[in-house]
Amino acid sequence: MDEGRTMKGNEGLRCEVCGNVYDKSFEVRVAGATHVFDSFECAIHALAPTCSHCGCRVIGHGMETDGVFYCCAHCAEQHGIHEFEDRVEARPQEK
């Protein structure tokens, strides 16, 4: 964390997910709307997209096609999306 930044001393805002009032709560702005959370766990629960196959929250890069989110290529493949790859083998360096 930057030396000039501190989390202490805010007025104790209420988390919109769990309702906890916490002096280290924080705000996240998404598409012009401001959300308040007391933890990253609550922020993920409220804001992270859900994999269309397995239902887990996509907290990494994930994959998306036509507005549909997947956590990995395997889940996308289960829905007939075959152009994604989780891992691409490294090509030998050309000489």
11-63 per-position pLDDT tens digit = 789 999 999 999 999 999 999 999 999 999 999 999 999 999 999 999 988 99
In angstroms, rounded to a whole number, what is the distance separating the alpha carbons of residues 16 and 35?
Answer: 7
Report the C-alpha dihedral over residues 25, 26, 30, 33, rounded to 10 degrees.
70
Both tokens assigned to 18: 């769990």
The stretch 64-68 carries a mean pLDDT of: 92
Q: DSSP string spanning 12-67? A: -EEPTTT--EETT-EEEEETTEEEEESSHHHHHHHHS-B-TTT--B--SS-EEETT
In angstroms, rounded to a whole number, what is the distance separating the alpha carbons of residues 36 and 76?
Answer: 32
pTM for this predicted structure:
0.70
Residue 8 confidence (pLDDT) above 70:
no
